[in-house]
A and B are shown apart, each in its own frame.
Chain A
Amino acid sequence: MSTTVAIILAGAVLTYLTRAGGHMVLSRFERIHPRVEAALNAVPAAVLTTLVAPAVYHGGPAEIGALLIAGIVALRASMMTMFLSGAAVLILLRYLLH
């Protein structure tokens, strides 16, 4: 088995555990401690932010411009609209600034 396949399967097992485990573990408690709930609530935004922030900090004008516009569009529109407008700005700025 290649490393890639091993990583994928390990990721799959852990992903399944998150999907089944919440019910298995948390259903044993009457209620979740508010601080635990606050931590769980924060996980996705905290993780995903770290994937964007360095790219913004080290990005060129085209990259920063694309994220800026996409971020603003995201306030009003769907994920797909946000994504496509960010991509359009990126392609345009890269073309213009080359």
Chain B
Amino acid sequence: MDSIILQILNGLDKGSAYALIALGLTLIFGTLGVVNFAHGALFMIGAFCSVTLQRILNLSYETIDATQTDFLGNPLKVKTPYLESWFGPEMGSSIIEWSVPLAILFAIPVMIGIGFIMERGLIKHFYKRPHADQILVTFGLAIVLQEIVKYYFGANPIQTPAPEALSGIAQLTSTIVYPVWRIVYFCFSLLIIGAVFAFLQFTTFGMVVRAGMADRETVGLLGIDIDRKFTIMFGIAAAVAGLAGVMYGPINAPNYHMGMDFLVLSFVVVVVGGMGSLPGAVLAGFLLGILESFASMEQVITLIPGINQIIIYLVAIVILLTRPRGLMGRKGVME
């Protein structure tokens, strides 16, 4: 029983990341009609916002310690972060330790900016082109972005640990423990998903966007600049993916390829949830996360070898055969 509960928790956790990325993908598809294969790269850039802030906070000056030597036998250069020098060792190291949560504030404007530039600079030129063209250009963009990140940060993963207070394990029952940061990640994703839905549901801006998603032309005829609003939505979708990446850093060390690892799965999530359906994307994200976790259980692998590698695609096939629009797909979208 404990192992089943643990796998549900794992699934919810994985599903959080899938749901956040799929939510952004669906927002972009629902508003702009663009199949954005660069969305995984936005998740990766978000994680590297955290790496960048960590490096900024760790900017150091060097002093020579004559009592120690480096690998060449020269006196050792000891690095001391400026923050520790300015605020004292304790306060300085505390600020550095909280670099991941602080990176949320850093990532929001950066990701919205990147989203704006991507949409205005490249993607808007492909609105009227076939989906195949959109997929090719956004996939190419994803490769360019990941190569840029690799050039500056290298191919190896870079650790962005959680603050000490949010590390370690939580004792959920007498026999079940679970990492604190993963619980934080799950709660954070619920918060972001809730905020996006509330924004669309309870604000005038959101109302106009929803109306535009339903009937773009009519909203345009009413004199509303729907393109501008959709551009803003692209920025918001980029920020959602970026925040998912920032918070994912302590779970798995960021590397330049992490966006691609999530991209295909997230597209499956969107298709299973139903193209253009925001609740569908979230539901499918959590559902597939849980299924993937269960399929990784030893008992399941023993019964059906290799099921852990194909379960998501298998479910996608079954759902698309029985419900071609996906779980909560709208009529007329991608049909």
Do A and B come together as binding partners?
A: no
